[in-house]
Amino acid sequence: MDIEKVNSMDFGEFVDVFGNVIERCPLIAAAVWSQRPFSNLEDLEKHFFAFIDALPQSGQEGILRCHPDLAGRELQRGTLTAESQREQRSAGLTSLGADERLRLAELNAQYRARFGFPFVLAARLSDPAAVRRELARRLHRPPAQELRTALGEVKKIGHLRLADLLGAHSARR
Ligand code: GUN
Domains of the chain are: 3-61 (no CATH), 69-158 (1.10.3330.10)
SS (H, E, C) 32-43: HHCCCCCCCHHH
Local structure of 70: helix, strand or coil? coil
Find the length of the chain.
Answer: 173
Interface predicted TM-score (ipTM): 0.90
Q: Considering only CA atoms, which residue is closest to atom 10 of ligand 1?
A: 120
Over its length of 173 residues, how does the chain's per-residue pLDDT go in tens digits?
Answer: 999 999 999 999 999 999 999 999 999 999 999 999 999 999 999 999 999 999 999 999 999 999 999 999 999 999 999 999 999 999 999 999 999 999 999 999 999 999 999 999 999 989 999 999 999 999 999 999 999 999 999 999 999 999 999 987 544 43
The amino acid at residue 50 is: A
Q: Which of 57, 124, 47 minimizes the C-alpha distance to 84? A: 124
Q: How far apart are CA 156 and CA 39, in angstroms?
A: 20
Residue 2, CB-side half-sphere exposure with 13 Å CA sphere:
1
67 assigned to active site? yes
Residue list, ligand 1 pocket, CB within 6 Å: 23, 67-70, 84, 87, 118-123, 157
